[in-house]
Amino acid sequence: GQQLNQSPQSMFIQEGEDVSMNCTSSSIFNTWLWYKQDPGEGPVLLIALYKAGELTSNGRLTAQFGITRKDSFLNISASIPSDVGIYFCAGQGDYKLSFGAGTTVTVRA
Amino acid sequence: NAGVTQTPKFRVLKTGQSMTLLCAQDMNHEYMYWYRQDPGMGLRLIHYSVGEGTTAKGEVPDGYNVSRLKKQNFLLGLESAAPSQTSVYFCASGGVIQYFGAGTRLSVL
């Protein structure tokens, strides 16, 4: 499978902060997806991006499909405690997904 | 809305035992997938199916078999479990966008 490089690997958030994470690939994808996984659950789709250059928002979440089709980023604005979890990027090609290793978001004590 | 349902949720096996994981979807999707999730590695595709009666290998197929006898069901089998197969297994259905079950946590001792 394709290898996606997702960064950062982990981050700590304080309520109200804006956070960013990104994903890069050596291959081109037709679609970029961002999922969130809560403990003990399966990944849940947050945002889907279908076109190079596309910028899409879903509430406090904003994601962009890179112009080269090899990267994507996700921003979370004004973070709240329920934003903790693992965020995964995924690139789609031929109806198969390749996943990044995930960004673990935890609350700063 | 059931979506994607996986059974069982937890299982402990001894090395060499066999078992079958069941996935059921009620969204009439043609495509179904089995992934494994290991710490720090994201989700990796084991096998997938593009329709009833079809199966294909993914990224990490060794040691697993699958069957898709009915459109709504996708079974993952371990014929002779090994400790390296200790993981969390997720089923998904969809295509461009995939919807995930809650996972099966498997330990092989």
Distance from the B102 Cα atom to the nearest Cα atom in chain A, whole angstroms: 4
Within 13 Å and on the Cβ side, how many CA atoms surround B39?
2
- Please state the φ and ψ torsions of residue B55, each to the nearest 5 degrees: -145, 155
B96: nearest CB among A31, A35, A99: A31
Query: Looking at chain A, which residue has its C-alpha nearest residue B6?
Result: A42
Contact residues, chain A, for B43 at CB < 8 Å: 43, 88, 97, 99
A57 pLDDT tier (thresholds 50, 70, 90) = very high
Chain segment A27-40, per-residue pLDDT in tens? 999 999 999 999 99
Please name the amino acid found at residue B100. Answer: F
Distance from the B16 Cα atom to the nearest Cα atom in chain A, whole angstroms: 27
Please name the amino acid found at residue B11. Answer: R
A51 pLDDT tier (thresholds 50, 70, 90) = very high
For every one of its 109 residues, what pLDDT tens digit does chain B have, with 9 covering 90 and above? 579 999 999 999 999 999 999 999 999 999 999 999 998 888 999 999 999 999 999 999 999 999 999 999 999 999 999 999 999 999 999 988 999 999 999 999 9
Query: Looking at chain A, which residue has its C-alpha nearest residue B5?
Result: A42
A40 Cβ under 8 Å from any chain B Cβ: yes
Three-state secondary structure of A16-64 = CCCEEEEEEECCCCCEEEEEEECCCCCCEEEEEECCCCCEEEECCEEEE
A1 pLDDT tier (thresholds 50, 70, 90) = low
Query: Looking at chain A, which residue has its C-alpha nearest residue B31?
Result: A95
Task: Say whether B50 and A95 touch across the interface (CB within 8 A).
Answer: yes
Structure token pair of residue A41: 């659950």
Q: For position A59, what pLDDT does the model report?
A: 96
Contact residues, chain A, for B96 at CB < 8 Å: 30-31, 48, 92, 95
Contact residues, chain B, for A44 at CB < 8 Å: 100
